Amino acid sequence: MRVLVVEDQRALADRIGEGLRDQGMAVDVAYDGADALRATALTRYDVVVLDRDLPRVHGDAVCASIVGGPTTARILMLTAANTVDARVDGLELGADDYLGKPFAFDELVARVRALARRTPSTPPIVTHGDLVVDRARRRVGRAGRPITLTRKEFGVLEALLDTDGAVVSAEELLERVWDANADPFSNTVSVTIGRLRRKLGEPQLIETVVGSGYRL
């Protein structure tokens, strides 16, 4: 799951980002509305956690741009204004959910995950032959055998499942599962694919398409 956190209070933004990464999400952080617009233009996000009161470009304008664009990202709007009118305003702008400040971090995580499950083409339980992936509970099994995956291994498997057999390049996997700080010249994707293959067992489910990437 790829998430963009947009919050002008840097300490809070960084804490949210680190907390979501600890939950297995790939997270980028923007500190103002202009940077948020640049990020959403370049990267496909599943969820955008969006503070409403942003410098340079107001959060309302960022929300309207995301909603009016081609992205399928869901928007969780954050604001210190907890009145009913403020919540209604945010939702009428096109936000999918609303969370007032201060908030409990566990609730933020739950709402982000719930929004990601509402993204088109991401059903909560996916099957591929004898492989069963429960996105909501983050559980994987094959032929009735439970498989324990790391967060990155699970993310790679999700990304491959989402393409329904199409080839996914290493660069695309790096973008979807890691974040903007990942080294594009490292072998982290191939190493993760190797571990994932071993855990999924025989017969092999992940095919390497030489010069192009990987596919299920």
Give the whole-angstrom CA distance, residue 167 versus residue 176: 14
| More reliable by pLDDT, 116 or 203 | 203
Average pLDDT for residues 106-119, to the nearest whole number?
Answer: 86
Q: Is the pLDDT of residue 202 over 80?
A: yes
User: What's the CA gap between 205 and 197, in Å, rounded?
Assistant: 7
Contact 146, 139 (CB under 8 A): yes
Average pLDDT over residues 164-172: 85
What is the reported pLDDT for 158?
A: 87
For all residues of the chain together, what is the average pLDDT? 87
* 20 vs 177, more confident: 20
132 or 138, higher pLDDT: 132
C-alpha 135/C-alpha 115 separation (Å) is: 12
CA distances from 187 to 26, 182, 183, 190, 193 (A): 18, 11, 9, 5, 10
| Residue 118: pLDDT over 60 | yes
Give the C-alpha separation, 25 to 116, whole Å: 11
Domains of the chain, first to last: 2-117 (3.40.50.2300), 125-215 (1.10.10.10)
The residues with which 127 forms a beta bridge, in sequence order, are 132
pLDDT digits (tens, 9 = 90+) for 80-103: 766 666 666 666 778 889 888 889
pLDDT band at 122 (very low <50, low <70, confident <90, very high): low
What is the structure's pLDDT at 127?
86
Whether residue 109 has pLDDT greater than 80: yes
Non-local (6+) Cβ contacts of 169 within 8 A are: 212, 213
